[in-house]
Amino acid sequence: MGIPAQRFEPSPKRQAAMEVLSRPSVTYWQDVWRRLRKNRLAIVGLIGVALLILMAIIGPYLQDYSYYEQNLATGKNLPPSGEHLFGTDDLGRDVFVRVWYGARISLIVGFSAALIDLVIGVLWGGFAGFKGGRIDEFMMRIVDVLWGLPYLLIVILILVVMNDPGLIPILIALTITGWLNMARLVRGQILQLKEQEFVLAAQTLGASTRRLMFKHLIPNVMGPIIVMITFTVPTAIFAEAFLSFLGLGIQAPFASWGTMISDSLIVILMDDWWRLFFPAFFLSMTLLVFNFLGDGLRDALDPKMRK
């Protein structure tokens, strides 16, 4: 007795419905943004950075005073009030205006140092990693020599030799060895990527070294580079504040968080707490929000975190 033939019927679902993807297609950067939004601390950091940039731009204009305007007669060491939101210092200068002018200086130094580190580090590390062999060995030995030098000592020595405190000497001093981390990071990533199939295919098709670097390799390293930049900015901001605190950075009459903190140390034993509190508070908050954002970007850009 034979087995009766089974009758197969087509699914009642429409063909178009069957082809609908269960998850919408998104690009790499859309997926990064989706994961970043789920990180609350990263969003706090992003909002904090945006507010900091906004106040650095408009903050000094919210009061009717300049960062260098003095009032020695009746305006010295006034506490916070409606007229002076953050009080005044020992020369009668408005602390609110000077804090946000100092934020402007700090952000200029931070972003400029990160940009210079990006250009030098990516080009140096990318070229060394791509070429390999003796060229890589020679270039990375230079990096190792610079890496072995005391960073702070080199920065202070350059500033002392130049004998011209200001933004340009500080940027030169911060970037003379600041690009080493970026170069090492990019070199390691390029060494891994240059053996991938898409690079070999591009080489087979006759792609030049320049095209391979800037079209195929460096765009695939942008994730770690962005994270490194995010951590470079607060490092440069803290270095500038520390140098200004030592008297080697921004000089009077310009305002810097480091110089404001240095000038206010004497008030620890006095009642003029606002002169030290506000620049120290905003310096700490700046470093904190940049680190929140950096941690969130690191997690969002990590392929292992994809779901």
Contacts of 174 (CB under 8 A, 6+ apart): 109, 113, 155, 236, 239, 240
Whether 231 maps to a domain, the answer reads yes
Strand partners, 304: none
Cβ–Cβ under 8 Å, residues 86 and 60: no
Whether 132 maps to a domain, the answer reads yes
Tokens encoding 254: 């310009």
Q: Give the DSSP H or E segment for 38.
A: none
Q: What is the pLDDT of residues 145-173, one digit of tens each?
A: 888 887 778 777 877 777 766 778 888 88
Whether 19 maps to a domain, the answer reads no
Report the C-alpha gap between 261 and 200 in whole angstroms.
Answer: 55
- What is the domain count for the chain? 1
Residue from 229, 230, 249 nearest 155 by CA:
249
Whether 96 maps to a domain, the answer reads yes
- Model pTM above 0.95: no
Which range of residues forms the domain containing residue 159? Answer: 33-59+88-305
Whether 195 maps to a domain, the answer reads yes
How far the first Cα of the chain sits from its last, in Å, is 53
Which alpha helices (H) appear in the chain, and where do they start and end?
15-18, 28-37, 40-58, 95-131, 133-147, 151-162, 167-175, 180-193, 197-204, 209-211, 222-246, 257-263, 274-301
Q: What is the pLDDT of residues 77-135, one digit of tens each?
A: 888 888 888 888 888 888 999 999 999 999 999 999 899 989 999 999 989 988 888 99
